[in-house]
Structure 1
Amino acid sequence: MATPNPFTFIVYVRDAQQSATFYGDLLDLSPVFESPRYIAFELPGGTQLAVWSGNDVFGDRLPEDGSPTRTSELCISRGTASEIDATFTDWKARGIHIIAEPYDDVFGRTFLAADPDGNLIRVAPVD
């Protein structure tokens, strides 16, 4: 019998395939499950990250203007400030939309980026 995933984090997007390509390239991952509107990636520890563009039963999960309220961030941990700065330099060179350049916060060095739908991606030190 298959063991269920302990957690799946779902990011709501307008175009699941476009977002899956973005996250696959960003995280160097291939999907473990693909459907027309829902695509999932396996993360370390058995957790999954999925992109979902809504469903046919209840309609699109996004408001009519296509801009959902942002209430969370995806956080990617890096070990040191220099690794965080190097990730920032790499992402900026790749054209990733940067919201906030690297700065020091109460938990250490961090910066903030966004995916094509404006979902926030924070890079920060390992807790």
Structure 2
Amino acid sequence: MTSPNLFLIYVTDVERSVAFYSDLFDMQPQTITPRYVPFEIAPGILFALWSGRAEQVTPDLPRTCEVGLMLPGAQSGVDDRYAEWSAKGVTVVEELHDDVFGRTFVVADPDGNLIRVSPLG
């Protein structure tokens, strides 16, 4: 059985997006090329930024998927991450609230790609 091992996010400005995601997730890229920047998030699993389809990334394009960050521990960890990211000035798309899977909120990267934070399990 083969599992997905690359999660590709379309961006318009690689340099700006590398700075955003490096700061937000406190991670550094494996390598940097002019249009493709991978971050190894687990052994053999990449989260990558790609500007090869930048013309398709427009503000009016509906976003139908999200990058997810599931936090271990108490649900208050989600509240703490919300406060931390809000202090950084990220764009909040969905305010902090309770949903069927627990405490959650959604922010957007500079290109409007969605990032959801929720509890693990």
TM (norm. structure 2) is: 0.88
**Structure 1 unmatched ranges of 5 or more:** 55-59
- Local SS of the residue matching 1:30: coil
Match of 1:73 in 2: 66
Give the Cα–Cα distance (whole angstroms) in 2 for the partners of residues 6 and 100 of structure 1.
Answer: 28
- Give the alignment partner of residue 78 of structure 2, picking from 79, 84, 90: 84
- Give the alignment partner of residue 97 of structure 1, picking from 75, 82, 91: 91
Match of 2:117 in 1: 123
Matched length: 117
- Local SS of the residue matching 1:116: coil
1:65-102 deviations in whole A, cap 9, x for unaligned? 73444121000011221100000000001101111111
Q: Work out whether residues 97 and 114 of structure 1, in 8 Å CA contact, stay in contact via their aligned partners in 2.
A: yes
Name the larger-Rg structure. Answer: 1
Give the Cα–Cα distance (whole angstroms) in 2 for the partners of residues 53 and 121 of structure 1.
Answer: 18
Give the Cα–Cα distance (whole angstroms) in 2 for the partners of residues 124 and 88 of structure 1.
Answer: 10
Task: State the identity as a percent.
Answer: 43
Match of 2:36 in 1: 38
Shift of 1:62: 2.8
One-letter amino acid matched to 1:11? I
Instruction: Show structure 1 runs of 4+ deviating over 6 A.
Output: none
| Match status 1:112 vs 2:106 | yes
Q: Work out whether residues 41 and 50 of structure 1, in 8 Å CA contact, stay in contact via their aligned partners in 2.
A: yes
1:13-46 deviations in whole A, cap 9, x for unaligned? 1001110110011111111021101101010343
Q: Work out whether residues 17 and 37 of structure 1, in 8 Å CA contact, stay in contact via their aligned partners in 2.
A: no
